[in-house]
Amino acid sequence: MKKLITLCLLVSLSLPVISFSQPETKAQHDSRMQWWRDARFGLFIHWGIYSVPAGEWNGKTGYGEWIRTSAEIPLHTYDGFKEIFNPVKFNADEWVRMARDAGMKYIVITSKHHDGFCMFDTKETDFCIMRSPFRKDPMKDLAEACHKYGLKFCFYYSIMDWHHPDYLPRRDWEKDRPTEGAEFRRYVDYMKAELKELLTNYGEIGVLWFDGEWENTWNEKYGKEIYAWCRSLQPGLIINNRVGAGRMDMEGLTKEGAFGGDFGTPEQQIPATGLPGVDWETCMTMNDHWGYNKNDKNFKSSKELIRMIADIASKGGNYLLNVGPTSEGLIPPESVERLKTVGAWMKVNGEAIHETQASPFRSLDWGRCTKKDILNGVRLYLHVFNWPQNGEIILPGLLNKPSKAFLLADAGKAPLAVGRKDDALVISVPRQAPDEVNTVIVLDLSGKLDLTDPPQIISDYDFFVDSLNVKLVSDRDNVEIRYTLDGSDCNTKSPVYSRPFTVKNTVVVAARCFRKGKPVSGTGKKEIRKAVANPAVQAANSLPGISYRYFEGNWDSLPDFRNLAPLKEGVLENFSLEPKSAKEYYGFSFSGFINVPANDVYAFSLDSDDGSVLWIDGKKIVDNDGLHADQEVESAVALMKGFHQIRIDYFNKTGSEGLTVSIRSSTLKKQVITAGMLMH
């Protein structure tokens, strides 16, 4: 992640400005990204003066690094934390050795979070650690320790700043930060001055990890400017996609056509499938908060963490795992304990993570797989989560000749027997799992990888009202696809697929690839069911438009608006946020009827910032709840022609806002719901 690096001296660099008039070639880009792709595993550290209140304010205990705005703490009160922030127990050597021993290859630490407090020696503001009682620069010590122990040192830097007088916008509740005289361009220049300090005072920096880019004052133009500025100071620098303004919320990938830096940043989630050709890194908390919260003991287990490392590497991504140190400078003991356990596993199995590529298999029911190219062949690392009771690990669709197999933890590399059954290789393993969390088996194959996945069974949905078209697809040449509709095994007597077919009853489609009369893939299966559509309801005496109820409040997720008294209510022509009185901290509940033109499956989508939920006929269909930037979620329901009850709840906390409601079906192209479809 985000090749082991040689030690280098920490020097104060004065680097030349370079020109980006010539686009970087693919070879140059791959060379710059190589150490990060090889690393696979890194440590995230969220540390700042928000660790002083330790997640607690006015009797509430659920806060983290956002406490300044989440608890609406006045600026002069929050500034007081600087006067008592004194992390005298901080030990850079201990932190870096802990990360190294856990198998991590780089460290990303918050140089400045959204609160604007700088954890480094800056000449640009007094709101920094050098003006605290500590009066030392922990970033300098960490940089030296990283270079000493062979880890890449990296900085997180927040674009958003709740302290700087020129950063815009403000929040509605901030009465002590007037906007008069504020100039955002001046703030961008302030950022550039601080970024120059970070990139010239601490030696080689591996990654600049930006965040806080989602407010409407930031745009793609600024992102490109900052990207070019930073890489002019350190040409080998890697920069995440949050430097731009096109991130698709917590999914972390960049919208098509937008500027996306060097890698995507899924947050608190692992993409369900691999993302071929895309560099990405999952960042994730070890408990429920990024910054230190003394009451948060909901830590992930070591088992979960070890399996996540393998899962992410198997999909071609990096894992950036977070810790939140205390105001004294100590990493919580629960985090230290888990990293020691992870490190023990990585000491034995690290080669199955570092410098590996994504799994060639679409899915494996017993675990995960990572891959390396070796001389005259391929090496597969089989991460077995679910140890087989029959002593057989099956690798479907794998046609290569095996050269050897052994347990990675076995220093003697005693060979495991490998046989073949039709398309599959079968590895014989001990009855008892050597490691119940994740046992790694090494399988070396001769020649270029020859793998055929089961055919993909493609349909718009896995249910229908009257009928549904089904398509079977394989990415391999010179194969024929045979299928059944009752879930039975496919053989040479099964029908050969030639074109999409229509199903009118519930079926279980099974499909398998054959070549020269022999199976060359495993079998894919998918149940497609005939659904009972929701009956239409009576909407007598209804009028055009949609009813709304408007509320104000501070929520992190949708409350039950049915139990709250609205501040106002009325009727709108269509879903709209126009009746709001506040810019932030508000919500709507819309209700009425939607008229659908035919018996069909209808997909509804909610594109919102922040959270939204859609109910049809009293059942939750689309769940896009929670704090997030602009994000679209879609789900489907079978409906009979006519009117159906519809309800949408929406809330916005801070920052940008928006709600778009769309519909599509087999006869309707995706479109925003029109006023003509709504009644109340």
Distance CA 444, CA 379 (A): 4
Q: What are phi and psi of 142, to 5 degrees?
A: -65, -40
Q: What are phi and psi of 475, to 5 degrees?
A: -90, 5
Strands 518-530 and 619-624, by their bridges, are unpaired
Q: Which CATH class is domain 546-679?
A: alpha beta
Please state the rounded mean pLDDT for residues 61-90: 96
- Cα→Cα distances 522→234, 276, 410, 489, 668, Å: 49, 22, 30, 10, 36
Share of the chain above pLDDT 70, in %: 97
pLDDT, one tens digit per residue, over 546-579 is 999 999 998 989 999 999 999 999 999 999 999 9
Phi, psi of 268 (to 5 degrees): 60, 25
CA angle 503/507/512 to nearest 5° reads 95
Query: Angle at CA 82, nearest 5°, toward 76 and 86?
Result: 160
User: 């960042």: which residue's tokens?
Assistant: 283
> Mind listing the pLDDT tens digit for each residue in 122-142?
999 999 999 999 999 999 999
Mean pLDDT of the chain: 94
**Single pTM value for the model:** 0.88
HEC string of 225-250 equals: HHHHHHHHHCCCCEEEHHHCCCECHH
pLDDT value of residue 629: 76
Q: How many CB atoms lie within 10 A of CB 668?
A: 14
Q: Looking at residues 595-599, what average pLDDT do you find?
A: 96
Which of these CATH numbers, 2.60.40, 1.10.472, 2.40.128, 3.40.50, describes 456-530? 2.60.40
What would the 3-class secondary structure string for 454-519 be? CCEEECCCCEECCCEEEEEECCCCCCEEEEECECCCCCCCCCECCCCEEECCCEEEEEEEEECCEE
For the chain, the domains span: 43-296, 367-446, 456-530, 546-679
* b/e burial code for range 30-44 (CB count within 10 A of at least 16 → b): eebbebbbbbbbbbb
pLDDT at 21: 54
| Nearest residue to 125 via CA among 197, 175, 45 | 197
| For the chain, percent of residues with pLDDT exceeding 90 | 88
Tokens of 10: 């920490």
How far apart are alpha carbons 273 and 302 in whole angstroms?
23
Q: Torsion over CA of 46, 49, 52 and 54, rounded to 10 degrees?
A: -30
Tokens 């990405």 locate to 280
| Cα–Cα distance for residue pair 115/136, rounded to 1 Å | 20
Lowest-confidence segment of 119-123, 596-600, 652-656 by average pLDDT: 652-656
Q: Over the stretch 230-239, which tens digit does the pLDDT of each residue have?
A: 999 999 999 9
Element (H, E) at 143: helix 138-149
Same fold, 43-296 and 456-530: no
ω into residue 610 within 30 of 0, thus cis?
yes
Mean of the pLDDT values across residues 105-109?
98
Asked whether the predicted pLDDT for residue 17 surpasses 80, the reply is no
Q: What is the pLDDT of residues 177-231, one digit of tens each?
A: 899 999 999 999 999 999 999 999 999 999 999 999 999 899 999 999 999 999 9
pLDDT at 1 over 60: no
Q: Residue 256's pLDDT is what? A: 85
Least confident of 69-83, 245-259, 304-318, 633-647: 245-259
pLDDT tens by residue, 390-423: 999 999 999 999 999 999 999 999 999 999 999 9
Comparing 461 with 10, the larger pLDDT belongs to: 461
pLDDT tens string 505-540: 999 999 999 999 999 999 999 999 999 999 999 988
Question: Could you say which architecture CATH assigns to the domain 43-296?
Answer: Alpha-Beta Barrel (3.20)
- Residue 13 pLDDT > 50: no
CA distance 56 to 70: 11
CATH number of 367-446: 2.60.40.1180
Q: Which range is least confidently modeled, 11-20, 148-157, 296-305, 320-329?
A: 11-20
Confidence of residue 6 (pLDDT cuts 50, 70, 90): very low
Which of 674, 672, 616, 621 has its CA nearest to residue 644? 616
What pLDDT was estimated at residue 554? 87
Q: Confidence class of residue 175 from pLDDT cuts 50, 70 and 90?
A: confident
**Six token digits for residue 297:** 């003991």
Cα dist from 608 to 40, 652, 658, whole Å: 32, 9, 5
Residue 655 confidence class, pLDDT cut points 50, 70, 90? confident
